[in-house]
């Protein structure tokens, strides 16, 4: 058994680790999940500037992705609809209506040129590993120059954790990164392609929540037109929620028409006698016109899941951008120095006629030695010592090229290389300024696309569902069956309720509970009290409890209010072991105690006023009325002032 348990534990840990790192949570370095990264890697490898069938792309991605084609196709469509890396041709679905894309054989895509600028694919900078079958290599994570995790957004559920990262406007993200590089303060808020309104007062830099609303045209008092969607909704889901609210009597509308095409247009016509101002709050309260989205910025960083803020992501990527640009410059400089070295070798080889010295050599070693010896007088001009590879390069120069060798062209090329090396050295000394200029350049290229903010920031006062819900549900008590609730068919109606009301009920025994409006709940016959349990209602109700001690037969009175409680938990109004005789909600009433007959007791009946006794806390004990054994009590039968008393 221990072996089996260890086997299960080990396999579960491996599975959980795989789901977290390789499926559900994006990598901070490039903001991509593995399937997205493999799609872009495939498009980069096969890019020829022309559109390719999505079905063809999906097939090629399967060489890297060890899962079915359906997940690849869905991920490609979603990535293409982000409008950043992939150009699309054909029906890729409608983000407003929720309609899906056409089959992969009917739609085409290609890589956008800006992708290669944002994602570094140089194997000397980006780490590559073998694919799952060992036939090819794929990047562990692209070295991204922009914080794509904020630009693209992400959501995923892993084992024991989840991520929900909202999309941000790429223009604002780049501005934030530039401010970060300058050491200035910045703040980022979400922006959604569907537009709408959002309240970011509790966004907490990516770890809190937002309230999102549909944008409505309420200029016509008999018609409401929804022109922009709240995040997370489609016109279909929004219309369904409105129709459900109308069916349940929450909203009074005569018709709901969806005219959405390339722009959202949902028209709600109101019933006779109902006006726009009466319906707007109900739309926010009972439909998808208002939603609360909770965020959790969880990413994979250094091979571990880490919770970060938007500010931390920007700071991380600002440092990453500087690092990538430095590596690119250093590699370019290295390549230029190598090119300069070869051009210098070629010039000396031809100008000084060193190639003449190999004419008498009969062995390969002799040829190599003759060339190297020929360069000894010019060692000071060389960037580095000559190697066998350099000699091999020189010997491969055709005779025709030697005879036509252009010294002026060589010197011009050398000058250009030296000028670029000087420029690189200058950039390496001012990397932050270079990073900012790179961001300016990429921002200018992106301005050809519509990157204006689509979602409007505003302050939203959330609509209290309870406040806009009318109390129109009949709440009954059937004394014969002992049931209370909105679903009780017989009995008498106590009052009208909403599904959101809290109801306080007190049984015959003196035990009381509070629950949300029950459909059908057994409380037993002879229920003593039933009423609303909201703060305002309870503050007005003063409970008077008369109870008797079974041992001494003494009667006590307790006057208190119920101010606090835990839902669906039983409480006792009297101390444990006591017998509750009467419960009343009147501020003042008369009651009579009938004493047990005894030889020395002459007065067998005595009346008292409840108003003569002070109010105490709920947990306090009652006050003994008189030190005599009580047989029965009689209570004045006026109607109670609050709630429903039985």
Nearest to 53 by CA among 37, 42, 63, 64: 42
> Is residue 319 within 8 Å of 336, Cβ to Cβ?
no
Cα 73 from Cα 90, distance rounded (Å): 14
Max CA pair span of the chain: 152
Nearest to 456 by CA among 197, 216, 214: 197
Please report, for residues 242, 243, 256, 351, 462, the alpha-carbon distance to residue 232 in angstroms, rounded to integers and kept in the order given.
16, 18, 20, 71, 18
> Is residue 370 within 8 Å of 358, Cβ to Cβ?
yes
For Cα atoms 510, 513, 514, give the angle at the middle one, nearest 5 degrees.
145
67, two tokens: 């899962």
Nearest to 451 by CA among 167, 224, 209: 167
Phi/psi of residue 105, nearest 5 degrees: -75, -10
Block residue for tokens 């290599």:
137
Phi/psi of residue 572, nearest 5 degrees: -115, 125
Helix (H) or strand (E) holding 55: helix 54-61
Reply yes or no on whether 106 is catalytic: yes
Phi/psi of residue 213, nearest 5 degrees: -130, 155
CA 138 to chain centre: 29
Nearest to 272 by CA among 299, 247, 252, 251: 252
Block residue for tokens 């739309």:
283
Among 15, 18, 96, 106, the one annotated catalytic:
106
Q: Coil, strand or helix: which one is 542? A: coil
Q: β-strand 483-485 against 197-199: which pairing, if any?
A: unpaired
> Is residue 500 within 8 Å of 516, Cβ to Cβ?
yes
C-beta neighbour count of 545 within 10 angstroms = 22
Report, as residue numbers or ranges, the catalytic residues.
106
């Amino acid at each position: 058994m221990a072996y089996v348990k260890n086997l299960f534990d080990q396999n579960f840990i491996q599975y959980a680790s795989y789901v977290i790192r390789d499926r559900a949570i994006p990598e901070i370095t490039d903001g991509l999940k593995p399937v997205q990264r493999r799609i872009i890697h495939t498009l980069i490898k096969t890019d020829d500037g022309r559109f390719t069938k999505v079905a063809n792309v999906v097939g090629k991605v399967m060489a890297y992705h060890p899962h079915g084609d359906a997940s690849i196709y869905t991920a490609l469509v979603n990535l293409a609809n982000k409008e950043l890396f992939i150009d699309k041709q054909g029906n890729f679905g409608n983000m407003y209506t929720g309609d899906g894309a056409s089959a992969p054989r009917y739609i085409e895509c290609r890589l956008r040129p800006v992708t290669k600028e944002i994602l570094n694919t140089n194997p000397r900078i980006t780490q590559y590993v073998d694919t799952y079958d060992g036939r090819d290599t794929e990047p562990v994570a692209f070295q991204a120059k922009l914080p794509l995790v904020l630009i693209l957004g992400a959501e995923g559920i892993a084992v024991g954790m989840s991520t929900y990262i909202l999309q941000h406007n790429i223009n604002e993200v780049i501005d934030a990164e530039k401010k970060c590089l300058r050491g200035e303060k910045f703040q980022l808020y979400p922006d959604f392609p569907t537009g709408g309104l959002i309240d970011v007062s509790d966004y907490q830099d990516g770890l809190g929540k937002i309230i999102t609303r549909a944008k409505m045209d309420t200029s016509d008092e008999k018609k409401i037109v929804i022109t922009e969607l709240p995040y997370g909704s489609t016109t279909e889901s929004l219309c369904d929620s409105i129709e459900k609210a109308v069916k349940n009597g929450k909203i009074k509308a005569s018709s709901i028409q969806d005219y959405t095409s390339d722009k959202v247009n949902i028209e709600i016509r109101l019933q006779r006698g109902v006006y726009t101002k009466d319906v707007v709050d109900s739309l926010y309260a009972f439909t998808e016109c208002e939603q609360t989205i909770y965020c959790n910025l969880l990413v994979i960083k250094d091979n571990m899941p880490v919770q970060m803020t938007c500010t931390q992501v920007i700071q991380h990527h600002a440092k990453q951008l500087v690092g990538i640009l430095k590596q690119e410059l250093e590699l370019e400089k290295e390549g230029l120095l190598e090119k300069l070295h070869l051009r210098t070798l070629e010039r000396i080889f031809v100008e000084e006629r060193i190639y003449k010295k190999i004419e008498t050599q009969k062995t390969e070693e002799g040829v190599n030695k003759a060339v190297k010896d020929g360069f000894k007088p010019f060692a000071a001009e060389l960037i580095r010592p000559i190697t066998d590879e350099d000699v091999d390069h020189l010997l491969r120069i055709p005779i025709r090229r030697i005879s036509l060798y252009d010294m002026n062209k060589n010197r011009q090329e050398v000058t250009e290389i030296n000028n670029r090396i000087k420029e690189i050295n200058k950039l390496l000394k001012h990397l932050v300024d270079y990073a900012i200029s790179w961001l300016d350049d990429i921002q200018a290229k992106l301005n050809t696309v519509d990157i204006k903010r689509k979602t409007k920031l505003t302050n939203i006062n959330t609509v209290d569902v309870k406040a806009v819900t009318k109390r129109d549900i009949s709440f009954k008590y059937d004394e014969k069956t002992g049931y209370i609730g909105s679903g009780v068919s017989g009995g008498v109606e106590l009052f009208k309720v909403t599904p959101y009301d809290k109801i306080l009920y007190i049984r015959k025994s003196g035990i009381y509970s509070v629950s949300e409006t029950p459909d059908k709940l057994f409380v037993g016959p002879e229920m003593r009290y039933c009423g609303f349990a909201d703060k305002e209602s309870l503050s007005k109700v003063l409970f008077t409890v008369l109870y008797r001690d079974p041992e001494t037969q003494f009667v006590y009175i307790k006057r208190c209010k119920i101010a606090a409680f835990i839902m669906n938990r039983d409480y006792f109004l009297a101390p444990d072991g006591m017998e509750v005789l009467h419960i009343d909600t009147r501020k003042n009433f008369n009651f009579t105690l009938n004493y047990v007959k005894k030889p020395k007791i002459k007065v067998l009946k005595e009346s008292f006023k409840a108003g003569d006794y002070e109010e105490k806390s709920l947990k306090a004990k009652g006050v003994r009325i008189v030190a005599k054994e009580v047989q029965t009590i009689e209570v004045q039968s006026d109607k109670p002032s609050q709630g429903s008393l039985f």
